[in-house]
Structure 1
Amino acid sequence: MTEHTPSDEIDPDASADTARTPAAGDVTADWNPRGPSVRRDPLAAYDGMRSYCPVARGVSGAWTLFAHADVTGAARDSQTYSNAVSRYLQVPNGLDGPTHTSYRALVDRYFTRERMTAVEPVVQRVARELVAELDVPGRIDAVAVGSRFAVRAQCAWLGWPADLEDELLRWMADNHAATRSRDRARTAQVAERFDAIIRSLTAARRVAGEHAPDDVTTELVRDRVEGRELTDEEIVSILRNWTGGDLGSMALCTGVVLTYLADHPDLQDRLRAGVSDRELDAVLDEILRIDDPFVANRRVTTEPVRVGGRQLAAGDTVFLNWTSANRDPKVFGDPDAFDPVGNAPYNLVWGAGKHVCPGRPLATLELRALTRAVLDATAVVEPDPGRPRQRGLPPVGGFSAAPLRLG
């Protein structure tokens, strides 16, 4: 949902070289963000880069920040590190300054505590119904379960028809493949396909007028910013980030969370014994910190800046590597040590600064509801030794396939 989701995946710019083109011979790359070592073991690769080259220049000329202090500093310095990184409108995460403030205020109204309380029973119902369809005992791919849940939960929240489920699932698969291909034309085509789905839904509400359904999508179509109605382009951008980003992020989160629980039966037992929503949310955030599936977000420098002994020029593309920052031993000690309370103040799973993820309340609610539904319907969630896990390939993290057994 904007800042800390895989929303860059539906930006046609994101699959291409987004850095400024360096002059011939003026770049010596410190690393390859999609090289063999990253593809083989992303966490180890990021940990290694943070250790010996915390501010690294990639083969494209773009910089990556790996250390917690550097990532946090850049995320909070929106003057030096601009979010306006794409040729395409991205509301609100691709905006800066007062313009971002206005649109962010609009978006935040949709994620208030009152609204989340109202939608919680709907999300819980969706989670229970989906889990009831699973074979217990039986085998699942946690990522596939998360994908289907994300589509159903988002459709229920936005008031979209249930018959969109298969179409959206196909789009998710095509979008991941296009992103991995790094083919800008292919990525743009997939993004346009998603925009067409959104425009059909908003157009239907405009035609219906006062007879349009009373749902979040209709409310957004009628909403206003800075004293005027939102444009179609702005509405599509907001819905693209809410849905396109959240569908991918919920699938990745589900894979990471259920896999971690399968590997830690003692934690499963503790959660089954009963914990508050607040305690469960802290557990989920800590699991995602240890293996953050939201690898990086882009920025562009507005002026020369020195970071970690490296000099960056104005106009340089900078990636904030959240996955690495969330495992920085200078902040967390042993990055794999499980400490939900102690690590919470430094956890960057949902971002930091002005662009911290506005959709966090809904994303957390969805993940909590699905986790509870799985635990309530099973006696055990365990690894499936007969089917290997598959790591997500850059630019996403987590797992592309997370096979588990339910008992």
Structure 2
Amino acid sequence: MSKQLPQDWDPRSETILRDQRTAYDVMRKRCPVAHSEYGGWNLFRHADVSRVLLDHETFSNKVSRHISVPNGMDPPEHTSYRQIIEPYFSAERMAEFEPICREIAEDLATSTLHYDRVELMADFAQPFALRIQCAFMGWPLSLQDTLLSWTTKNAQATLSRDRAALAELAEEFDALIADQLDTRRQAGANAEDDVTTALMQEQINGRPLSDQEIASILRNWTVGEVGTIAASVGILAEFLAANPAVQQHLRANPELLWQANDEILRIHGPLVDNRRRTTCPVELGGQQIDAEQRITINWISANRDPEVFSDPERFFLERDPALNLLYGAGVHVCPGAPLARMELVTIMRSLLQRSSNLQLIAERPAILATYPSSGYANLPLRLR
């Protein structure tokens, strides 16, 4: 019988959900390696998170019984799949996709940002994330509502840890992908030349990727893209509205958006956490942790650790970018980082060009998103 461990905190408590960043800052000081029934051992310090990221032998990514390509794999299995995936985010592919991204951003900005006020999340951030995802995958725009509904239900099931609902949602997504694959197979040589079609031609260990493997890759990309891109746009817009000097500096110097976006998203991360599993007994932060224990790395807290980022709330472009864990580190560093960075630069440039003075609206304050999401659920802004 496994021993009952003390509960140091409850990540789903009202206090935590009300203001995640503040709560995680408190946990980093009070109990940097904290146990909870929900997330196992939770890590809040940059040093501990970095140690986990850089030691994939001790801290395994195989945390689920279900196939997860390549997120839920370890080397050498992970390496083979990663070699297939990385070219989809190469500099050449990003250069090809950038004009499409710019066109979507400009179309959305033109249709949405001509009012004096906007509810940024529902009217701008979410539509951009959905449209850009469909465009990158080669999926019809008619899937936007389906994807939004699916990601919303997936977040709710994750929060409640409803395994039955999560399994049902996985089957629902697999069915969506199966329909896309069938459409391309029926088209044969006339199938669209897009990412989904290209994945159907890939091979692993001398055999074609299975439909299940393709669906897993596309599901990971969708979960990682739609929610975090929308959250990132909201976080960036709110920060600029609250910091007019930075806003005007970036409006005049859009070439700085690459570094500025990363620094703002360090201060307020769009992704809360990820899981790992110990493969052997290990000591972290004075805690003795057995093998086969759940580990939850808290990205938001690690990137706000004052031991690494002096005055962590301050926007400072001269920080060492290698310390920013926004896109992870080690063998599992996010392969889609070039795409995400390009998309965020493009959409923020459009937002700044189509507005003259982003401002928060005092009588309609922003509403923070709650776990497992980050950023804002609602963000009313004045544009000029």
1:215 aligns with 2:184: no
- AA paired with 1:353? G
Which of 66, 70, 79 is equivalent to 1:101? 79
Which of 216, 223, 231 is equivalent to 2:210? 231
Q: Say whether the 8 Å CA contact 2:155–2:373 is kept in structure 1.
A: no
CA offset digits 1:311-355 (Å, max 9, x no partner)? 000000000111100000001011101112214221001111110
Which of 17, 20, 28 is equivalent to 1:39? 17
Report what 1:393 is aligned to: 370
CA offset digits 1:71-113 (Å, max 9, x no partner)? 0011110000000001111111110011100101110010000
SS in 2 for 1:329: coil
Which of 22, 26, 49 is equivalent to 1:48? 26
- AA paired with 2:110? A
Question: 1:368: how far off?
Answer: 0.9
Change beyond 3 A, Cα 1:297–1:125: same
Q: Say whether the 8 Å CA contact 2:303–2:325 is kept in structure 1.
A: yes
Q: Say whether the 8 Å CA contact 2:151–2:227 is kept in structure 1.
A: yes
Q: Say whether the 8 Å CA contact 1:332–1:343 is kept in structure 2.
A: no
Pairing of 1:170-189 with structure 2 (within 5 A): 170-189=149-168
Length-normalised TM-score, structure 2: 0.96
CA offset digits 1:123-165 (Å, max 9, x no partner)? 0000000111114333223222221111111111221112222
Unmatched 5+ residue regions in structure 2? Answer: none
SS in 2 for 1:340: coil
Change beyond 3 A, Cα 1:165–1:60: closer
Identity %: 45
Which of 319, 325, 333 is equivalent to 2:296? 319
1:267 aligns with 2:246: yes
CA offset digits 1:186-242 (Å, max 9, x no partner)? 233233222221111012112222221111111111111222110111000011111
1:197 aligns with 2:176: yes
Paired with 1:397 and 1:165, the residues of 2 have a C-alpha distance of 21
1:131 aligns with 2:89: no
Paired with 1:315 and 1:179, the residues of 2 have a C-alpha distance of 21
Most deviating of 215-224 and 192-201 = 192-201
Q: Say whether the 8 Å CA contact 1:22–1:61 is kept in structure 2.
A: no
Question: 1:27: how far off?
Answer: 1.4
SS in 2 for 1:331: coil
Paired with 2:171 and 2:211, the residues of 1 have a C-alpha distance of 14
Paired with 1:125 and 1:76, the residues of 2 have a C-alpha distance of 38
Which of 292, 296, 302 is equivalent to 2:279? 302
SS in 1 for 2:277: strand
Change beyond 3 A, Cα 1:221–1:61: closer
Unmatched 5+ residue regions in structure 1? Answer: 1-20
- What is the count of residue pairs matched by the alignment? 383
Q: Say whether the 8 Å CA contact 1:82–1:301 is kept in structure 2.
A: yes
SS in 1 for 2:263: helix
Pairing of 1:45-194 with structure 2 (within 5 A): 45-60=23-38, 62-144=40-122, 145-194=124-173
Q: Say whether the 8 Å CA contact 2:113–2:354 is kept in structure 1.
A: no
Tell me the C-alpha RMSD between the 2 structures. Answer: 1.5
Report what 2:357 is aligned to: 380
Q: Say whether the 8 Å CA contact 1:139–1:405 is kept in structure 2.
A: yes
